[in-house]
Amino acid sequence: MLRPSMARRIYLFLLVCFCASHALAADTLYQGDSLNSTNTLVSKNGLFTLGFTWLGSAESNASYLGIWYNNDTSHPFWLANRDKPVPDNSGVLALDGSGNMKLTYSGGDLVDFYSSPSSTTNLTAVLEDSGNFALKDTNSGGQLDYLWRSFDYPTDTFLPGMKLGINHASGQTWSLMSWLSDVVPTPAGPFTLEWDPNGKELVIKRRDVIYWTSGPLTSNTSFENIFQNTGLLDYSFINVSNADEDSIMFTVSANQFTPQDQRNFSMWQMKYDGNILDNVTSLTYGGTSCKGNNADAGCEKWSEPSCRSSRNSFELRRGYFVNTVPTKSDDNSSLSISDCKDICWNDCSCSGVTTIGNNGNNTGCTFFYGNFTPDLSGSAIQYYIIVGQVTSGKKKWLLIILAPVGFVSMMGLAGLLWYLRRRRLRASRLVEFRD
Ligand SMILES: *[C@@H]1O[C@H](CO)[C@@H](O)[C@H](O)[C@H]1NC(C)=O
Ligand SMILES: *[C@@H]1O[C@H](CO)[C@@H](O)[C@H](O)[C@H]1NC(C)=O
Ligand SMILES: *[C@@H]1O[C@H](CO)[C@@H](O)[C@H](O)[C@H]1NC(C)=O
Ligand SMILES: *[C@@H]1O[C@H](CO)[C@@H](O)[C@H](O)[C@H]1NC(C)=O
Ligand SMILES: *[C@@H]1O[C@H](CO)[C@@H](O)[C@H](O)[C@H]1NC(C)=O
Ligand SMILES: *[C@@H]1O[C@H](CO)[C@@H](O)[C@H](O)[C@H]1NC(C)=O
Ligand SMILES: *[C@@H]1O[C@H](CO)[C@@H](O)[C@H](O)[C@H]1NC(C)=O
Ligand SMILES: *[C@@H]1O[C@H](CO)[C@@H](O)[C@H](O)[C@H]1NC(C)=O
Ligand SMILES: *[C@@H]1O[C@H](CO)[C@@H](O)[C@H](O)[C@H]1NC(C)=O
Ligand SMILES: *[C@@H]1O[C@H](CO)[C@@H](O)[C@H](O)[C@H]1NC(C)=O
């Protein structure tokens, strides 16, 4: 005889199987339907999934309604409730009988996506083959305009068909905002990606200060600082400038160099470290190429306190800090690694920084002040360190030795000492001879 717990497990197993197979069939919610954490919508082409997911933070059971690509739930390219996580798994996306689409949970309503002004609607919400989740009214007499669509509310990812810019008709701005860390999607991330319709360029801002610019759109295939020259996919940028909107979007298509297994797709994520990463082609722009002192390739030079010079820049290095010099921690969970770098940059005695080890969210900062010893074996922790020799008027000087530069100068110093010693020896021998 089956024990009750065993029977329950088998029942759950069958239920999950049923849901999974059910989910694979459906890309549409009809009026009266709802979706909870046990089911999903999958686009017709099978590439996109809409459902509830948990993100990496070990510190939280929060779940999010998101859309992800290629079955990878760890970083959905769209999130419905990044500012209002569901505290548990009770989230429900409902398209109710009176024509409202909303996200609810055991504690009440969380997000209202759309409220129908009329009761004679026949709403459908479809996860389209582009990754767009679109709400339409089939009763609107042939007029199949979107009532609401996820592409109008981007989170941190730019997909073909999505727009960045300004919708003059609705007054809405389309822009991206990075997550706070690799596991925290809170809309308080340090970086935004915006379209500047006057300069016809893409702009990354860090906490509202310009950090990187793409340079003007030079043709329908490239910006001054964006070269899509892998040749494996054709990119095409479309800028629209009229009374209704000022916007940019892009498309990708296969060409004769596109490998068979390469997807005809691309998505640009504004990462929490300031990079734009094309998660499909692995190309990156902006971000970590901006190290503080450089103004090339679109980077803006950072404003600097007098103790920093054009020789100082941030580098990500493995190694150790002298453990006799105390570190300082700031466990403010609103701080992202780029905020930590900014604080360190403006603190003349700070020589390096990391968020690792503060908490499971990879937020907050630990600052280091001593000398840094690079580790070439690759096993030590990575830190953002400020390289370049620094002398501060008020505070003690500090010297951070770059591995290659350090090696060369050590060799030089050794050579000089050897030369001086030989000269002294020779001199003393000469003295002996003369004696
Ligand atoms: C999800 O909805 C299905 C019906 O669609 C229901 O059987 C199931 O109990 C629900 N699961 C949760 C966790 O609410
Ligand atoms: C997450 O859920 C588990 C199981 O329900 C619970 O033991 C744990 O305390 C929860 N963690 C947080 C951070 O709420
Ligand atoms: C996602 O997973 C399902 C079930 O494992 C599989 O059938 C489907 O092909 C996968 N989709 C993609 C795009 O890899
Ligand atoms: C794309 O993102 C997923 C996480 O969502 C990650 O596992 C994968 O490595 C990323 N791909 C690239 C090229 O960065
Ligand atoms: C609503 O539209 C669907 C097709 O989208 C149709 O099958 C259904 O009959 C319609 N329902 C009503 C009440 O009009
Ligand atoms: C891009 O511009 C070239 C010439 O400037 C034109 O031939 C081509 O059709 C354009 N492509 C698109 C997608 O607009
Ligand atoms: C951008 O759009 C405007 C009008 O919408 C057009 O005149 C201009 O040539 C476009 N620029 C590029 C580089 O495609
Ligand atoms: C590329 O993708 C688009 C949209 O998914 C599709 O219409 C087109 O046929 C695809 N092209 C190729 C060459 O696969
Ligand atoms: C945490 O950091 C944020 C951003 O810098 C700041 O606005 C806030 O006041 C800080 N909170 C505390 C408790 O220091
Ligand atoms: C980690 O992130 C979660 C979700 O954003 C938040 O609820 C929690 O308070 C954070 N914990 C810390 C220590 O910052």
User: Is residue 414 over pLDDT 60?
Assistant: no
Whole-angstrom distance, CA of residue 285 vs CA of residue 267:
13
In this structure, of 21-30, 212-221, 361-370, the range with the lowest mean pLDDT score is: 21-30
C-beta 70 within 6 A of ligand 3: yes
Percent of the chain with pLDDT over 90: 61
Name the DSSP class of 356: T
Band the pLDDT of 188: cuts 50, 70, 90. Answer: very high
DSSP assignment of 76-127: -SEES-TTS-BSSS--EEEE-TTSEEEEEETTEEEEEEEE-S-SS--EEEEE
Band the pLDDT of 434: cuts 50, 70, 90. Answer: very low
Ligand lying closest to the C-alpha of residue 334? 9
- The CATH number fitting domain 154-302, selected from 1.20.950, 2.90.10, 3.30.420, 1.10.30: 2.90.10
Select from 168, 222, 241, 245 the residue to mutate for testing ligand 7; criterion: most ligand atoms less than 8 Å from CB.
241
pLDDT of the residue at 389: 52
Strand partners, 99: none
CA of 93 to the centre of ligand 8 (A): 30
In this structure, of 3-12, 62-71, 104-113, 248-257, the range with the lowest mean pLDDT score is: 3-12
Band the pLDDT of 430: cuts 50, 70, 90. Answer: very low
Band the pLDDT of 145: cuts 50, 70, 90. Answer: confident
User: Is residue 398 over pLDDT 50?
Assistant: no
CA nearest ligand 3 atom 14, residue = 70
pLDDT of the residue at 58: 67
Q: Tell me the pLDDT tens digit for each residue of 290-308.
A: 988 899 889 999 988 889 9
CA angle 50, 55, 59 (to 5 degrees): 150
Span 146-163, mean pLDDT? 96
Band the pLDDT of 421: cuts 50, 70, 90. Answer: low
pLDDT of the residue at 142: 63
Span 403-430, mean pLDDT? 49
Going by DSSP bridges, is the β-strand pair 275-278/176-177 parallel, antiparallel, or unpaired? unpaired
Q: Tell me the pLDDT tens digit for each residue of 315-329.
A: 999 999 987 888 999
Residues whose CB falls within 8 Å of the CB of residue 215, separated by 6 or more in sequence, listed in order: 201, 223, 224, 225, 226, 298
Span 149-176, mean pLDDT? 96
DSSP assignment of 388-405: S-B--SSSPPB----HHH
Q: Tell me the pLDDT tens digit for each residue of 72-82.
A: 999 999 999 99
C-beta 382 within 6 A of ligand 9: no
- Give the pair of three-digit tokens for residue 324: 């006799």
Whole-angstrom distance, CA of residue 350 vs CA of residue 365:
12
pLDDT of the residue at 232: 84
User: Is residue 331 over pLDDT 80?
Assistant: yes
User: Is residue 94 over pLDDT 50?
Assistant: yes
Better-predicted residue by pLDDT, 249 or 433: 249
CB 326 within 8 A of CB 349: no
CA of 71 to the centre of ligand 3 (A): 6
CA of 103 to the centre of ligand 7 (A): 39
Q: Do domains 26-152 and 154-302 have the same CATH topology?
A: yes
Torsion angle of alpha carbons 392, 394, 396, 402, nearest 10°? -10
In this structure, of 90-99, 117-126, 237-246, 406-415, the range with the lowest mean pLDDT score is: 406-415
Task: Report the mean per-residue pLDDT for the chain.
Answer: 84
Which helix (H) or strand (E) covers residue 28, if one does? Answer: strand 28-30
Name the DSSP class of 287: G
Name the DSSP class of 135: E
Better-predicted residue by pLDDT, 281 or 399: 281
CB 415 within 8 A of CB 358: no
CA of 38 to the centre of ligand 1 (A): 6
Span 125-150, mean pLDDT? 88
In this structure, of 140-144, 192-196, 272-276, 290-294, the range with the lowest mean pLDDT score is: 140-144
Strand partners, 94: 34, 102
Looking at residue 375, its amino acid is: D
Band the pLDDT of 375: cuts 50, 70, 90. Answer: very high
User: Is residue 242 over pLDDT 50?
Assistant: yes
Select from 220, 248, 253 the residue to mutate for testing ligand 6; criterion: most ligand atoms less than 8 Å from CB.
220
C-beta 198 within 6 A of ligand 4: no
User: Is residue 413 over pLDDT 60?
Assistant: no
Tell me which CATH homologous superfamily contains domain 26-152. Bulb-type lectin domain (2.90.10.10)
What residues does each domain of the chain span?
A: 26-152, 154-302, 313-387
Whole-angstrom distance, CA of residue 286 vs CA of residue 300:
10
332 SS3 class = coil
